[in-house]
Structure 1
Amino acid sequence: MSTYGLFTRVFGPPPGTGAPSVVLVHGLGLSGRYFVPLARRLAANGVTVLVPDLPGNVRSRVCVRRTPDVVRTAEALARWHRQLVPGPSLLVANSVGCQVVAALAARHPSLVHRLVLLGPALTPGVSVWRQGAGLLADAFREPPALLGLAAADYLRTGPLRWAVSLRHALRDADVAFEDHLARVAVPTLVVRGAGDTLVSEAWTRRVTRLVPDGRAAEVADAAHAAHYSAPDAVAELIEKFAAGADG
């Protein structure tokens, strides 16, 4: 459904019925489709799960004329959140989506109860060529179904918008991402697939140290999109973390 300008998938009880809310935020050029396995798993326990397509991406492509940068995307997501989600939610993001939710959490702390960063990219100071090589290597470690889904999403978003989004994300990584992480005021779980070739163990440790209340977890037999290849394992980590236990 289209909700407040952003196409949104809803799983579990409708928003506003009193169930806890989880918002899943996708990565660069993608849609929320690759979060569906995790969304269904979380919703099975009575949680309201909302999965928007960010502005400029796939089914929310036409809601903006120009591709927004990371901060403008975070502001659009904050407006959507205020209109649709009652009270603070648990935000879960993957890849460049982690830059978006870090900006949102830093600028609008009242909207976030807890934060989960799955494969937080991009890494500051690393060239686009090295990060591209890492992403290409990761593709060989992901399920074939995910590659087909991602290719279809990239085509629908469009190569020009994808390239502009990448430029915005690289700039944010170099000038703002670490500052936003340091301003996150809520408990944060940083999750890395053990086979992730895009996000290094060293960067994961740094992210965990940057946020004031951070903890880390690793998912075995998973790569950058651990939530897609290992939804049960990731859901268990999220549920344990949401209940207040250590990740």
Structure 2
Amino acid sequence: MRRRPRPDRLELVGRTMLRHRFGPGDGRPFVLVHGIGCGLDYWLRLVPLLAEHGPVHVVELPGFGRAPKPARALTVEQLADHVVELLESIGRPVVLVGQSMGAQVVLETALRTPTLVERLVTIGAVTDDAERTAPMQGLRLLQDVLRETPGANAAVLADYIRCGPRRYLATLPSMLDYDTESAAAAVTVPTLLVRGSGDPICRRPWARRLAARLGVGGLVEIPGAVHNAQHTHPRATASAILTAALEPRR
């Protein structure tokens, strides 16, 4: 999908988040939350597949994508404030999807507004407790770049340029500090973990450990994908989001 609707500007305490709407007005809503440094573009192959089933809301959090940049980089918790406000404005339960650092944002959101989340989905969740340092994450990112398709790298790089290295690096400490495992253990909504089978950032042992902390959930691995499965394998990702069974795990 290449056609981009004019986004809505959602203001909160002087910060602006953009919301791009696709698909019908009725049906089960989907809300997509990007990772660190990213924005709308790397969702565009997944969007039309979800839009067949309901309205799709793709956010660009303050400072990322085409959203205005606040004076200071925001924490995971502050970014979740904006998603909470969006869910409250939608007013009915959604399928809430987050990729990479967006997985942390959607977990934090679901902890605060469980009645507004029908199903929670993380794609390439971060950050592995054994690798919560900037040098290690830099190494894993390099490994991922070498395995991604040129199209996926181009989509991500364009948003990294928009974000800029200063904001990326200023946001990174919050991503590294956020306790994803504890959030997964505390979340009460059904949660699906999705990872590419070759993802060097969300590695299999970490994903399995995270899945074991869920109350009701599941883990799906997409063969041949790495970190940006939603871009390189959109049909498999959409199928997992829509149909993967979630069962008691704890």
TM-score, structure 2 as length reference: 0.89
Match of 1:33 in 2: 41
Match of 2:203 in 1: 200
Deviations 1:177-214 (A, max 9, x none): 22221111111111110111111111100111112112
* 1:213 equivalent in alignment to 2:216: yes
Counterpart Cα distance in 2 of 1:56 and 1:129: 23
Match of 1:72 in 2: 78
Query: Percentage identity across aligned positions?
Result: 34
Moved over 4 A (4+): none
Per the TM alignment, residue 80 of structure 1 is displaced from its structure 2 partner at its CA by 2.2
Does the CA-based 8 Å contact 1:240-1:246 persist in structure 2? no
The aligned amino acid for 2:19 is: T
Deviations 1:27-57 (A, max 9, x none): 00110210111011111x2311110101211
Counterpart Cα distance in 1 of 2:62 and 2:79: 7
SS in 2 for 1:19: coil
The aligned amino acid for 2:210 is: V
Aligned residues: 235
* 1:95 equivalent in alignment to 2:82: no
The aligned amino acid for 1:102 is: L
Does the CA-based 8 Å contact 2:193-2:219 persist in structure 1? yes
Match of 2:138 in 1: 132
TM-score, structure 1 as length reference: 0.90
The aligned amino acid for 2:139 is: A
Gaps of 5+ in 2: 1-6, 11-15
Change (3 A) 1:78 1:246: closer
Supply the RMSD in Å over aligned alpha carbons. 1.5
Does the CA-based 8 Å contact 1:208-1:216 persist in structure 2? yes
Per the TM alignment, residue 122 of structure 1 is displaced from its structure 2 partner at its CA by 1.5
The aligned amino acid for 2:9 is: T
Give runs of aligned pairs for residues 40-59 of structure 1, distance below 5 A.
40-43=48-51, 45-59=52-66
The aligned amino acid for 2:205 is: A
Gaps of 5+ in 1: none
The aligned amino acid for 1:222 is: A
